[in-house]
Amino acid sequence: MEVKRDHGAAQARKKKLLWLGAAILAVLIAVAVTLGVLASQGVLQGSSSAPVSSSTAADESANASPNGATDDSSDVDAVASGITASTTKSRTASATTTSSTASSTPTEPACPSKDDIPRSARGSITDTSSWLDLTDFNCTFTDETVGDLPLVGLNATWDDSARANPNVPALDKPWGSYAEKPFRGVNVGGWLALEPFITPSLFKSPAGLFAEWDLTKQLGTKAAAVLENHYKTFITEKDFKEIADAGLDHVRIPFSYWAVETFEGDPYVPGVSWRYLLRGIEWARKYGLRVKLDLHGLPGSQNGWNHSGRIGKIDFIDGPNGPQNAERALKIHDRLSKFFAQDRYKNVVAFYGLANEPALALDQVKLEAWHRKATDIVIKNGAHGAPVFSEGMQGLAHWAGKYPEYKANNLVVDVHQYTIFDPNLLSLKPTERIEFGCKNFMNQNVESMANYGPTMVGEWSQAHNDCTEHLNGLGNGARWTANFPGITTPACPTQNDQCSCDYSNDESQYSDKYKLFILTWAIAQMDAYEKGWGWFYWTWKTETAPLWSYKHGLDGGFMPKKAYDRGWDCSQPIPDLSDVPSYI
């Protein structure tokens, strides 16, 4: 019997099955897409064990990396090799950490690799893939400039709401009159402008490394790695926080012309210190600290001292290349002042230094003319911060009535007050030294404020002798003990063979009475200098020189815990210091 097929019904059933399958597939796709979106936005998360493990391993790897140069290193080549090795590990660990963090929570884009940098910029100062330290830098590549100076490393936004301490206004509030509210600050010396007495470990060997010129020349191609390792480790964000915690409200940042550019024959590392200067300003901003920019080394060396970069030779204003180098310095100020005219610096840069300690031996008429040109450039370009010039070892009285044309611009005179480079002042006994500070230094400030105008003390210290290693130049010894060239009689108060440098250089020996002496000596100077616009202590940190380190003083109990709460001033009787030997 033949069965007759219903072809129409079969076709209908087939179509129904196809539509049903398509609908199920569409639902599954929609669910998958929804889950994917939720997961990518962090609404849904998988197991955190893998990212945490990965991140922890990366952190351990970073922590295990060697730190580079050590204080007891005696070979600059070994130092450079150690830095190169540690840098590779550190950057690998950092990249791993970033990657693992990104898998669990949204983060900023990963830093570019070398291949991401345009070929024309690879190996340049804008190549962030070659930087040894990326902490708190914006690692996004950019070749944008202001004043022909790079913006790379900076974030697009900033916050000026921080306040250094309850006694001063937040950055975004006016400071008011410095004559009525003097600032209290500290230098971060020896960081971006090297000095052997601050970081002797960098100058240990070979013999003849007197200044940064000699060091970078000796290191050659390894200089960039050695110096950047120093920049990233000697002063960190922690230091800026501790500066604010100490009751200080301003920080002076010395840097030199090679942060901006170098010239033919220069061995200096160009440009690297620039980004650390910018990062230092951002750290100051974070903790409510206002900044004094200080050009410490000028082309040709303005004084022939090691902190200018090169010892002995002065070729600025005077000398065979003096006029050319003076013009170069003006062009550097043109670039710097354009850069620091940006709106981002209006609340954080309070002072703009023109030249640190130009030599007394320079042609003073030409130097004054140069100061006028530099000041005009800074004002014309709209740089934030009052311009500052150095009194140049001539004494504050010399400047009475000078530069009246800049009165409206608050051109500040900067004096550096020390009692240890003059044998007559070295011989002061402890109580006499404090009396000198309370009377002489105070009167100098009062008279300068009346006869010139805005006056600051840009450097001072607790040192009462010149015993610190390398303070007078590499290997020059001390006047205190008569082992300084040309000195035959010890300059300490007893002026005999009792005079010793051993005690003051060894913080572990300090007695309570000795600490009281150097604490009172510090407070006397603070009190005196606050009769002007304020002061910057020299300096925040040293490797082995406690009488030159504000941080050493805080940690050792011979500096006020808060700069604004001192418990003594010059109007009160000086404590009994008769038990403090005058020969130590």
Beta strands in 244-399 (DSSP E): 250-256, 290-297, 349-353, 386-390
Question: Residue range 334-340: average pLDDT?
Answer: 99
Contact criterion met (CB below 8 Å) for 451 and 443: no
Q: Which of 228, 261, 391, 459 is catalytic?
A: 459
The two three-digit tokens of residue 365, written as one number? 């008429």
Question: Residue range 448-469: average pLDDT?
Answer: 98
Q: Which of 212, 242, 261, 357 is catalytic?
A: 357
Question: Residue range 96-113: average pLDDT?
Answer: 53
Contact criterion met (CB below 8 Å) for 361 and 385: no
- Give catalytic status of residue 368 as yes or no: no
What confidence score (pLDDT) does residue 208 get?
A: 84
In angstroms, the CA 179 to CA 124 distance is: 44
Q: Spell out the domains of the chain, with CATH numbers in brackets.
A: 183-556 (3.20.20.80)
- Confidence class of residue 26 from pLDDT cuts 50, 70 and 90? low
What confidence score (pLDDT) does residue 213 get?
A: 98
Question: Residue range 507-536: average pLDDT?
Answer: 98
Beta bridge partners, 351, equal: 292, 386
Give residue 158's Cα distance to chain centre: 19
Does 52 score more than 80 pLDDT?
no
| Angle in degrees, 0-180, between the axes of helices 322-339 and 364-381, rounded to the nearest 10 | 20
Question: Residue range 480-505: average pLDDT?
Answer: 95
Query: Which amino acid would we find at residue 439?
Result: K
- Give catalytic status of residue 237 as yes or no: no
In angstroms, the CA 31 to CA 36 distance is: 9
Does 20 score more than 90 pLDDT?
no
State the CB neighbour count (10 A cutoff) for residue 64. Answer: 9
pLDDT in tens, 249-260: 999 999 999 999
In a 3-state reduction of DSSP, which class is residue 153? strand
In angstroms, the CA 434 to CA 239 distance is: 29
Question: Residue range 8-34: average pLDDT?
Answer: 48
What confidence score (pLDDT) does residue 206 get?
A: 81
Q: Residue 278's closest CA among 295, 253, 307?
A: 253
Does 491 score more than 60 pLDDT?
yes
Contact criterion met (CB below 8 Å) for 381 and 149: no
Beta bridge partners, 413, equal: 389, 455
Rg, the chain, Cα only: 30
- Confidence class of residue 475 from pLDDT cuts 50, 70 and 90? confident
Q: Which of 75-89, 137-151, 205-219, 232-246 has the lowest mean pLDDT?
A: 75-89
Question: Residue range 315-344: average pLDDT?
Answer: 99
Does 418 score more than 90 pLDDT?
yes
The two three-digit tokens of residue 164, written as one number? 């250094």
- Confidence class of residue 90 from pLDDT cuts 50, 70 and 90? very low
Pairing of strands 145-146, 534-537: unpaired
Peptide bond into 539 cis (omega under 30): yes
